[in-house]
Amino acid sequence: MLHVTNGDSTVETMERARIGGEALSWRDVLHEGPVPALAPAELRAVRARYLATLGSGEGEGVAEVEAGLLVRDERLAVAIGEAEPVVLWFEHDLYDQLQLTQILAGLPDRPEHVELICVGSFPGRPGFAGLGELEPAELASLWPTRTAVVPEHVHGARAAWDVFRGEDPRALARAAATPEERLPYLAPALRRMLEELPGVRDGLGRTERQLLEAVATGARTREQAFAGSMAAEEAPFMGDTIAFDRLEALAPLLVTSGPLELTDAGRDVLAGRADRVELLGFDRWIGGLHVRADGPLWRWDHGRGVLAGP
């Protein structure tokens, strides 16, 4: 039996819970960097080049990261091809939903011996943030909740995977506004992805705004700013490495030599009196869409919750 899940922390808990079988971590932070519509081998190369720059490869070079992605993909392919039982363990946040979508989209039209455990809450944990925080016995208690993966899962995931890797944010916005019965957490996750576009009011993506707001209300270290930003999330998904990169990109809006503090420009942007894009530019990938200040700049209207065209 093969268990596929979101990260090493959950894999470790599975081993302590003695669930049995082999656990495979789906190591990729798909909400960051380019995820273009390429064949699997080509996409692995693109992702490896990006992940190696992030430190997600734990100090490995591009070739080593790409080799790890290949081993991951091949292990799942062998399990599917040999009808080995596979159980997918994921949660409700953006990080997990993109991983789950990629996995489901690559399954056969009529998958056999594949089951899914996907949760957005856990009894006794009102601030549930994910599988990685559960104790071994708590994780094991989810075993009876697993359901068979059926063609509807695959078809819904393929449609979402295609629009996520595409270059038309309008298609992504439509998917984010269309609930998927078999994948109830997918549409909210895609909407959260769109919220990383520059805002119409201030040019800030949602994470950037939350980080600046945390500093404005007293956060004085990167760790405090990260904690404040994650506390504002309905489904926390971002690791501290990415959040710290966001802070670095906002440096002209912050005093970073010593305790964090907003500059005058930072206060103006946060108040909507200035635009982050005009002051700092913008260069970020939203799946397959490369959003740049010098190109057609799509934005997100946070007040209305809708996409705004260039």
Query: What integer is the mean pLDDT of 50-64?
Result: 77
| pLDDT at residue 122, as a whole number | 95
Assess contact for 90 and 14: CB atoms under 8 A. Answer: no
**H helices, E strands: number in the chain:** 13, 11
Q: pLDDT > 90: what percent of the chain? A: 91
| pLDDT at residue 55, as a whole number | 53
| pLDDT at residue 42, as a whole number | 98
Q: What are phi and psi of 268, to 5 degrees?
A: -65, -40
| pLDDT at residue 259, as a whole number | 95
- How far is it, in rounded angstroms, from Cα 67 to Cα 76? 14
| pLDDT at residue 57, as a whole number | 45
Strand pairing partners for 22?
2
Q: For the beta carbon of residue 209, count every other beta carbon within 10 angstroms.
A: 21
Query: What integer is the mean pLDDT of 265-284?
Result: 97
Rounded to the nearest integer, the mean pLDDT of the chain is: 95
Amino acid in the structure at residue 58: E
Q: Is the pLDDT of residue 58 over 60?
A: no
Which DSSP category does 279 fall into?
Answer: H
Q: Which helix (H) or strand (E) holds 100?
A: helix 94-105
The encoded tokens of residue 288 equal 């397959």
| pLDDT at residue 59, as a whole number | 61
In which band, very low, low, confident or very high, does the pLDDT at 310 lie, cut at 50, 70 and 90? Answer: confident
Query: What integer is the mean pLDDT of 300-309?
Result: 94
Q: Is the pLDDT of residue 192 over 70?
A: yes
The full set of domains in the chain, from first to last, is 2-191 (3.40.50), 199-281 (1.10.10)
Encode burial over 218-257: b for 16+ CB neighbours within 10 A, e otherwise.
ebeebeebbebbbeebebbbbbeebbeebbebbeebbeee
Specify the pTM.
Answer: 0.95
| pLDDT at residue 56, as a whole number | 43
**Coil, strand, or helix at residue 148?**
strand
Q: For 139-185, what is each residue's pLDDT tens digit?
A: 999 999 999 999 999 999 999 999 999 999 999 999 999 999 999 99
Q: For 8-17, what is each residue's pLDDT tens digit?
A: 889 999 999 9
Q: Report the alpha-carbon angle 242-294-199, nearest 5.
A: 55
- How far is it, in rounded angstroms, from Cα 117 to Cα 92? 11
Q: For 70-92, what is each residue's pLDDT tens digit?
A: 999 999 999 999 999 999 999 99
